[in-house]
Copies of this chain bind each other. A is one copy, B any other.
Amino acid sequence: MPLHEAKDRWHSALQEIHFSRGAKPATIGVEEALGRITAAPVFAAHSSPAYNAAAMDGIAVHFADLASASDAAPVRLGKGQFQPVNTGNNLPREFDAVVMIEDVHHVSEDEVELAIPATPWQHVRTIGEDIVATELIIPEGHSIRPIDQGAMLATGVTRVPVKEPPRVVVIPTGTELIQPGTTPQPGQIIEFNSRILAGYLNEWGAVARGAEPVSDDKEQLKSAIRKAAAENDIVIINAGASAGTKDFTATVLAELGRVVVHGVAIKPGKPVILAIVDNTPVIGLPGYPVSAILTMRLFVHEMIFDFMGMKPPAPQWTAARMSRPMHSAMGVDEFVRITLGQVGEELMATPAGKGAGAVMSLVRADGILTLPTGSEGVGAGETVQIELLRPLSDVQSTLVAIGSHDNIIDILANLLHKGKKTIRVSSAHVGSMGGIMAIRRGEAHIAGSHLLDEESGDYNVSFIKRFLQGIPLKLINLCYRQQGLMVAQGNPLGITGFMDVAEKNFSFINRQNGAGTRLLTDKTLGDLGVNPSQINGYDHEEYTHMSVAAAIADGSVDCGMGILAAANALNLDFVPVAEERYDLIIPDRFMQDSKIVALLELIRSSEEFAELVTNLGGYNLRDCGRLMYEQ
């Protein structure tokens, strides 16, 4: 079913149960009302000021007494003709003006002399000057701010009618779910979706909570949904919406009530279920967190506001240029997580990863690109509209690093963000050649690279001359680092090197083409006279040192090439192969950019940085921050 049709059907179903504006009013104390939504207009109970009040420190007078006052002939007022007043004091009924203290000359304790005439009601805040009793303070449907609380309290309003937000429960389903804090055994899944989903719902204005997980048992699920529908305004079932053998949410919902929509042509989120049980909307979300969140944004976000009789806030959009082409799955509305980077004049958009289970891709995402049904995708360089997930100002303070992966990047990301610098680092690990190409296309501020020129024995320079010709830039060293074979803890297979791997047919995991580590692997194999076909797993590729290390730690493979820091991080053993140089390529046009200035200052002079890097193991900072080449 196309998205627009699913939305239409769902809106009709919600209309039938009078879901819209279902919020009940409740009267609460004004002091507890911050952020709540008014259920009725609020009118002033009394005027403010509630009486004629002195607006200055000085004396209350009758203006007519001073009609003739001048420097030459000051007027003297005696007892009863004036009265001292402070700012805010009630103006005694017999007076009709205030003279400020600076203009009052005290002749004696009971007598003053004034040299300037007064106008009627000068320096007096007359009754109701700010607001008169019965006048409107704030309308219905208004989100109460501190100043609104002040205005209500100032005019005698102490209780205010507000709308009760919708009660929402998120029920996770699945026998495989375990609680956070437990290490998952194979086949188990940590249940955290209900927390994320409830968090978003609460941010949108609902009162949401996650329920205990329900096992894959039809009767248990049935009674859980029936109970939840009776106690809540919206029920969300998480998982159980795909076609897997244990997924019977749709069957249960059909038995309990009416399934309005099952399956929508969207990606991610296709298996969503929209149903009505006992006049309560029940939404079955897909199990993958990213699918669940994006689907909830599509169908439930608007419902929260609808329930409160409000319009949802307008989404924030920005135009950006695609850094690479993006092909669309035909026949579906596709929602693509996007990272944005302000690189020079251009705001560049890059897909942030596609996996529906990839929570980190949504942690890193700055926005969402919608590719509607019928779109064939977008080309590289095309300008697209992105719905923002964080303020544009955050995006603009992002340092875009594309290129080779190194564990130091995480250290930089943290040190550049903490404190008042608040520079975000967006890093894409696409290998050294990928970084050089990103610099060429103007997509990155910096690229990390460790490309060895086999002929000269030098790093990076020959590649820069070839691929970045004509681009003024600096090549600045970040570190030297140990590369080697990562093997299981204790090296149980006694792996001694690549020759060993080839001869004994140990399983290997490789890095992708264009990675500096792949080049180093190939050079090492060449030096040893080993043919890639002799290596079991040469075609099995991963994109980072850490992914390779994880596969070895898991026991999926016996060994892989990577840096000592990655091996140390996962407690692996390490068979050294070579020390290599790792540099940063920085175009000259960014050398004065405050983010780059902060980065260079950090790597050149921060003791904290040096200490943290040293602790990772396998690094040498002898040239860190040094200019290695420029053009």
Binding site for B on A (CB under 8 A): 21, 30-31, 34, 41, 43, 46-53, 55, 57, 84, 86-90, 93, 101, 120-121, 125-142, 145-151, 153-154, 156, 158, 176, 180-181, 183-184, 186-187, 189-190, 192-193, 195-200, 202-203, 242-246, 287-289, 293, 309-311, 313-314, 355, 357-363, 391, 393, 410, 413-414, 417-420, 422, 424, 539-540, 542, 544, 546-547, 549-551, 553-556, 569-570
Contact = CB atoms under 8 A, between A and B. Distances in A.
B420 A52 contact: no
22 contacts: A41-B418, A43-B410, A48-B359, A51-B187, A87-B242, A120-B539, A120-B540, A127-B550, A128-B546, A129-B547, A130-B357, A136-B410, A137-B363, A140-B414, A146-B196, A146-B198, A149-B192, A150-B195, A151-B363, A156-B183, A158-B180, A309-B418
B87 A287 contact: yes
Contacts of A288: 87
Contacts of A142: 417
B192 A134 contact: no
A419 to B, nearest CB: 5
A16 to B, nearest CB: 18
The 10 closest A-B pairs by CB, nearest first: A146-B199, A128-B550, A153-B192, A90-B186, A150-B196, A140-B418, A132-B546, A139-B417, A86-B244, A136-B410
A91 to B, nearest CB: 9
Nearest to A612: B41
A419 B335 CA distance: 30
Q: Name the residue in A193, A244, A556 with the highest tally of chain B Cβ atoms < 10 Å from its Cβ.
A: A244
Contact of A101 (B133, B192, B243, B314): B243
Contact of A410 (B135, B187, B539): B135
B154 A359 contact: yes
Contact of A419 (B21, B150, B181): B21
Given A89-B187, A180-B158, A355-B125, A149 B196 contact: yes
Contacts of A131: 359-360
A56 to B, nearest CB: 9
Nearest to A292: B150
B57 A358 contact: no
Q: Name the residue in A129, A135, A147, A244 with the highest tally of chain B Cβ atoms < 10 Å from its Cβ.
A: A147
A196 B289 contact: no
A132 B547 contact: yes
A173 to B, nearest CB: 12
Given A132-B544, A546-B132, A311 B193 contact: no
Contacts of A147: 196, 293, 359, 362-363
Contacts of A183: 46, 50, 156
Nearest to A138: B363
Given A127-B553, A138-B363, 13 more contacts: A50-B184, A55-B357, A86-B245, A88-B189, A135-B546, A139-B414, A140-B414, A148-B363, A149-B192, A150-B192, A150-B195, A154-B289, A158-B180
Contacts of A128: 546-547, 550-551, 554
Contacts of A90: 186-187
A142 B424 CA distance: 10
Nearest to A52: B556
Nearest to A314: B393
A541 to B, nearest CB: 9
A86 to B, nearest CB: 4
A177 to B, nearest CB: 10
Contacts of A553: 47, 127, 133
A186 B54 CA distance: 11
Q: Name the residue in A90, A137, A313 with the highest tally of chain B Cβ atoms < 10 Å from its Cβ.
A: A90
Q: Name the residue in A55, A132, A393 with the highest tally of chain B Cβ atoms < 10 Å from its Cβ.
A: A132
